[in-house]
A and B are shown apart, each in its own frame.
Chain A
Amino acid sequence: MLVKALSGLAVAFAMSLASAQAADVTVRMLHVNETGDPYWKKIAEDYNATHKGVKVIVDYMENEAYKAKLPTLLQSEDRPDIIYSWAGGVMRAQIEAGYIQDITAHKAEFDQVIYPAPLGAYEVDGKLYGVSVQLSEVLLIYNKALLAKAGVDPAQMKTWDGFLDVLKKTKGAGVTPLIMGGADKWPMHFFYSYLLMRLGGPDVLTTAETTEGGFKAQPFVDAGAKLKELAALEPFQDGWLGTKYLPSQGQFGDGKGMMALQLNGFIPGQQKNATDGKGIPNDQIGLAPFPELPGGKGKITDTLGGVQGFLLTKDAPPEALDFLKYFVSAEAQKASAEAGVYVPATKGTDAFIKNPLVAEIARAISNSTWHQNFLDQDLGPSVGRVVNDVSVAIAAGDMTPEDGAQQIQDAWDQR
């Protein structure tokens, strides 16, 4: 009797174990997009509701903390299955170390859903390692009212000289021309990157990477010289060297400066971080591309921005890939596109975008003649952060353009 009861218990126990295993394939996704987080959690909820036996957990982590912790996380057995990525040099290091799954076998499926250019950012040596989800563009974002006050015409900003002239006139009118979060450094590297792109054209980085001493080439020195020329006009707000990125959004939102060379995420950001919590309304915001440079190899339609997405880590279950396929579908991306949180990389989502500014950015990206990933991501963290340092130092008059180029070269050689 006792034996029978015990064996019955054992069977029940074994069954419960088995069912527990079948029901619980957990897929964990880790990302750094604060505003996208609620939308992405909703996508996971929808997926979990229709997929029995799979539980997708989406977690948000602050940007800098994520970058610092990821190497350790990847080495542990407890690594997340799906990780956030900016593509570029960091991703290549992760692939080389063998922590990222090759998903080339599913490329055809993703090709149908995602635009080719952003998906291409996740290919290394003809193999596909991830999917792009959100696109961003760095562009001149200006306050229309202050522009009118300064009495300048945005059409003037198409050329470099015209742009400098606008800065001079604005300053003359008693308005701060540019808002800069210099303490975080990367906002200044946008100027250096665009100058480099406009001067050197699409091959500028590949040439530098494959040539001995390539980062000391003319475009790198000239970009520094142009940045110095710009900074000599003192166009930034007082104390810009000590201003962090988020407070700089607030300053723009409070109308303390006319313009910023920033990511599209700056627009909702300045509204959120303004003193009144409203900032400059969308209809008072104007957008312009970074000016063209005479004699440069780049075009005004070349864009700088991000192609953020996700990678599958080693040992991630097949369910993770299945979730990723659902995640990038137009159906799943619809809500965030409608809310204007970011520009999705998924085909057919343009129609969902309601915010005219986001639509304008989406158009600029899809018409882009060359979309360059952020330099501090593309070159990897060790070289990228030197580019950030150098940009700030040149703008502050602390470093010559030649020294700047030399420092980038040194970082490249020592990486």
Chain B
Amino acid sequence: MADTTAPPQSQASYVRSGGLTALIFLPPALTLFTVFVILPIGEAGWYGFYNWNGLAALDNFVGLENYRQLLANKTFHQAFINNLLIIAVSLAVQLPLALGMAVLLADRLIGSTAFRMLFFLPYILADVAAGLIWRFMFDGDYGLISQTWQALGGDPLYILADRHWAYAAVLTVIVWKYFGFHMMLYIAGLQNIDRNLYEAASIDGASPWQRFRFITLPGLKPMIKLSVFFSLLGSLQFFDMIVSLTGGGPLNSSHTMVSFLYYFGIGRMRIGFGSAVGVLLFILCATVAFGYKRWLMRDDND
């Protein structure tokens, strides 16, 4: 008798705990996720052990050879450094700039909305378009920057042809394009800070710097973390603008890891090697994403 009553009971608890709902609603999403995310990652991991041109039979197993070549590749080292430089510039230049602008423009002053729009506009632009526009700006013969410099009596500037300056140009465009987005994040964050705190601080005689240091900054902490997180992931994914602005050149000095993957993996029909780059990138991205959440975002809930 006990046997016959047990199943309905467990079924009921199953339903109550949402298990049935999960059973019905999970498969479509899970299938899509498996087919378009898990399988390709697995395939890339598999291809990474082969020397494969994408056409022939997958039969030239080389073990970790692709990874060995990748770690010994000077262009890849440079690409990795370039990714780190994006993060460094994001933290050292873009973040303070965005924060400063946000503090200036958060108050409803005349023209602040117009400035917000103006600074946010580049972010709406596609990376490819931004790259092409700045390619013209940096052009040594016809570009605005070189022309201005010549008007001041200098020689023509071929910024994108100089291996020491080309990547600096890329970084400039990154800050130009993305600081507006981060500024908007901070403005949103500022609006969540209780106005009364500022009033109370003013009454207590706190200087503007003290108000910024002890009210604004702590209040913006979650947004700053989010902004840094976006900068990190943005750096790891950075690709389109490299293609349209420098094509990775001159002398392969301005690649990021993703553009390296495209030019040296797909462009050279070395799908095995490219897959190895992809796997490394995936591991880096996953580490950053989970590590960041674990170590820096966790006290948000406290």
Contacts and interface: CB of A to CB of B under 8 A. Distances in A.
Given A94-B55, A385-B268, A241 B161 contact: yes
B56 A97 contact: yes
A94 B270 CA distance: 14
A182 B250 contact: yes
A93 interface: yes
Most B CB within 10 A of own CB, among A75, A90, A242, A256: A242
B250 A238 contact: no
Contacts, number: 90
B156 A398 contact: no
A361 interface: no
Contact of A396 (B54, B246, B251, B270): B251
A382 B156 CA distance: 36
B55 A242 contact: no
Contacts of A90: 269
A340 interface: no
Contacts of B159: 242
Interface string A236-258: 00111111100000010000100
Interface in A246-290: 251, 256
B32 interface: no
Nearest to B166: A242
Contact of B55 (A74, A182, A244): A74
Interface in B25-66: 51, 53-57, 65
A244 B131 CA distance: 14
A99 B55 contact: yes
Interface string A95-109: 011010000000000
B267 A93 contact: no
A415 B270 CA distance: 8
Interface residues of B, number: 30
A386 to B, nearest CB: 8
A97 B54 CA distance: 9
Contact of A380 (B156, B251, B269): B269
A192 to B, nearest CB: 15
B250 A396 contact: yes
B55 A382 contact: no
B107 interface: no
B160 interface: yes
A382 B270 contact: yes
A398 B166 CA distance: 16
Given A97-B56, A414-B69, A382 B160 contact: no
A242 B159 CA distance: 8
A97 B55 contact: yes
Contacts of A72: 54
A93 B53 contact: yes
Contact of B267 (A74, A96, A183, A381): A381
B140 interface: yes
A196 interface: no
Nearest to B169: A242
A239 B158 contact: yes
Interface in B236-255: 246-247, 249-252
B143 to A, nearest CB: 10
B280 interface: no
B215 interface: no
Most B CB within 10 A of own CB, among A75, A239, A381, A396: A239
A256 B162 CA distance: 20
A329 to B, nearest CB: 31
B249 A241 contact: yes
B144 to A, nearest CB: 15
B266 interface: yes
B158 A242 contact: yes
A393 B74 CA distance: 13
A392 interface: yes
A382 B252 contact: no
A71 interface: yes
Contact of A414 (B51, B250, B251, B252): B51
B141 interface: yes
Contacts of A389: 252
A68 interface: yes
B161 A93 contact: no
Contacts of A182: 161, 250
A196 B37 CA distance: 47
Nearest to A97: B55
Interface in A378-412: 380-382, 385, 389, 392-393, 396, 398
Interface in A338-393: 380-382, 385, 389, 392-393
Contacts of A184: 247
Nearest to B62: A414
Nearest to A254: B141
A165 B159 CA distance: 30
A93 B56 contact: yes
Contacts of B247: 183-184, 244
A241 B249 CA distance: 8
A239 B69 CA distance: 32
Contacts of A381: 267-269
A238 B139 CA distance: 11
A415 B271 CA distance: 11
Nearest to B249: A183
B156 A238 contact: yes
B57 A97 contact: yes
Contacts of B162: 241-242
Interface string B256-294: 000000000011111100000000000000000000000
A382 B140 contact: no
Contacts of B53: 71, 93, 380, 382
B71 to A, nearest CB: 14
Nearest to B57: A97
Given A242-B140, A242-B166, 19 more contacts: A64-B267, A71-B54, A71-B269, A72-B54, A75-B55, A93-B53, A238-B156, A239-B141, A239-B160, A241-B163, A243-B161, A244-B247, A251-B141, A256-B141, A381-B269, A389-B252, A392-B251, A396-B251, A398-B163
Give me the 3 closest cross-chain CB pairs, A-B, nearest first: A242-B161, A239-B158, A71-B54
29 contacts: A68-B267, A71-B53, A72-B54, A93-B55, A93-B56, A94-B55, A96-B56, A97-B56, A99-B55, A182-B161, A184-B247, A185-B249, A238-B140, A239-B141, A240-B161, A241-B163, A241-B249, A242-B161, A242-B250, A244-B247, A380-B53, A382-B268, A385-B267, A392-B250, A392-B251, A393-B251, A396-B163, A396-B250, A414-B51
